[in-house]
Structure 1
Amino acid sequence: MLTFAIPKGALLKSSINLLKSVGLDFSAFLDDSNRMLQIVDPTGSAKALLVRTHDVPVYVEYGQAQVGFAGDDVLREKQPRVAQLLDLKYGYCRMAIAVPKQSPYKTPLQLPSHCRVASKFVNCAKAYFKSIDLPVEVIPLYGSVELGPITGMSDAIVDLVSTGKTLRENGLVEIEELFESTARLVVNPLSYRLNTDQVATMVDKLRFVVENQSS
């Protein structure tokens, strides 16, 4: 049976709608009273796992799910051994560096060497600062990263930004965009090559829907 890894949070509704467009219904995950983490489509042809966003590529890499929906930000951070086959064109956000509004630093290159940068995207942050040859200490935070500069623990943050409202409400401003991110279709490479449980066939169906929606 074909298994999908569907992320909780911002990508959930769009991912379920996309699957619905190819005849698979996992809308029970949208019910606030639902506590199930695994459900089978009413047709009995596929099932879905409801997992944390950062866990999607893990389930796909290890074969517990053949197909998953993951943000490009997560894939850049985790560098999983999965095949990225399709930009799904939803879940837009950007990875950015932000500092307090009153900060004297207006560009990343103005940040002092060995300053502290808080982020839940540790690898993305390290890769960026290495690319501009600026040594910094990246502090891993997995809650409200904005508290880093607010409490004085860090000079800046690297985090996902959608509308920028959270930054503004906490007195922070963007000084650099690292990259843009959208949801991506990822598959287990072996399952795709062997077309296990018709993975390749499903990918073709999803590609057709996405390409026709964007045309």
Structure 2
Amino acid sequence: MVFGAIAGGGDFSRHIAPRLTRRHGEQVRAIATRLTRQDRIHNHSLIRSGPTFTRNIMLTIALPKGALLQESIARFQAIGLDFSAFLDKSNRQLQITTPNGKAQGLLVRAQDVPVYVEYGQAQLGIVGYDVLREKQADVAQLADLGFGHCRMSVAVKASSPYRSALDLPAHCRVASKFVKCARDYFNSIDLPVDIVPLYGSVELGPITGMSEAIVDLVSTGRTLQENNLMELEVLYESTARLIAHPISYRVNSDGLSDLIQQLRSPALVTI
């Protein structure tokens, strides 16, 4: 409701800024102050005046380490923002500025991308849907970018008697680094299980007998096959998503609209 009021204009300084500050705390106090000043200067025309007022504020983008990084950089290169220095193996910098000086990039763990965006340290980010489902961050999901395809699955030993998740015994152990997603899934099918948090080589859970099953991301399925595991269920499909800080996006305070539309363009899809 607050975001709708912002998008439609109105008296930001009297009604909206105090509510945003109470809800989000210190991470948006600076944004609220900036927009209140803008509101006074431009007679409450937030959407039209936003890009002009913040013309000199550099855009910050959070990029994920790992499998999504190369394609994420290619997408931004296609619209004139070059973060390719992150691909240089000799580079140790975690924050760089594009050669044209229009944006800076933060190189962070994929799980931390929505955190940096939610707390306003980055206005945009790219991250897998699996991370968004697990983290439940307060960010705006703007677009499915169509790369980084994988799926969240329940898997067990191929030699096990189980042929569906409902065949698993009640109160059995399920290993996963996606603890929330795993718990939510088994709650949804009314099967009580003990979730064992693991953050590497989750496949070893069933192999060693520590768990009956795992919940993990599957891309090609080759790792499961090579470790004599098989999928029982697919919880959901995951792809890379473009996310934004909700306030920056709704008021267009950093001139994001054109950039977002370019990133959404089908012409950027890699064939």
TM-score normalised by L of structure 2: 0.77
Unaligned runs of 5+ in 2: 1-57
Deviations 1:29-85 (A, max 9, x none): 111111110100001010000000100000000000000001000000111000001
Does 1:148 find its partner at 2:148? no
Question: What letter is aligned with 1:20?
Answer: Q
Q: Distance in 1 between matches of 2:254 and 2:217?
A: 35
1:205 alignment partner AA? Q
**Mean alpha-carbon deviation: is it higher for 48-57 or for 143-152?**
143-152
Distance across 1 between alignment mates of 2:69 and 2:267: 21
Matches for 1:58-137 after TM superposition, within 5 Å? 58-137=115-194
Which residue does the alignment assign to 1:52? 109
Give the conservation status (yes or no) of the 8 Å contact 2:175–2:197. Answer: yes
- Choose which of 236, 250, 257 in structure 2 pairs with 1:193: 250
Identity, % of aligned positions: 65
CA distance in 1, matches of 2:187, 2:70: 36
The within-5 A match list for 1:165-204 is 165-204=222-261
Q: Any conservation in 2 of the 1:94–1:160 contact (CA below 8 Å)?
A: yes
What is the CA-CA distance between 1:213 and the residue it aligns to? 4.2
Contact 1:195 1:201 in 2 (8 A): no
CA distance in 1, matches of 2:117, 2:200: 25
Q: Aligned partner of 1:82: which letter?
A: V
Distance 2:239 2:180 in 1: 18
Report the Cα offset of residue 158 of structure 1.
0.2
| Structure 2 counterpart SS, 1:47 | strand
More moved, 95-104 vs 190-199: 190-199
Q: Which runs of 4+ in 1 moved over 6 A?
A: none
2:75 touches 2:268 (CA, 8 Å); kept in 1?
no
The 5 A counterparts of 1:24-63 are: 24-63=81-120
Q: Deviations 1:97-121 (Å, cap 9, x if unpaired)?
A: 1001111111100000000000000
Q: Which has the higher strand share?
A: 1
Which residue identity does 1:26 align to in structure 2? F
Q: 1:157 aligns with which of 207, 210, 214?
A: 214
Match of 1:196, SS state, is coil
Following TM superposition, by how much is the alpha carbon of 1:143 offset from its aligned partner in structure 2, in angstroms? 1.0
Greater alpha carbon shift after TM alignment, 189-198 vs 32-41: 189-198
Unaligned 5+ residue runs, structure 1? none
In 2, Cα distance between equivalents of 1:102 and 1:204: 49
Offset at 1:122?
Answer: 0.5
**Alpha-carbon deviation of 1:197?**
2.2
Alpha-carbon deviation of 1:195? 1.6
Deviation for aligned residue 1:200: 2.2
Does 1:212 pair with 2:260? Answer: no
Matched residues in 2 for 1:147 and 1:196: separation? 48
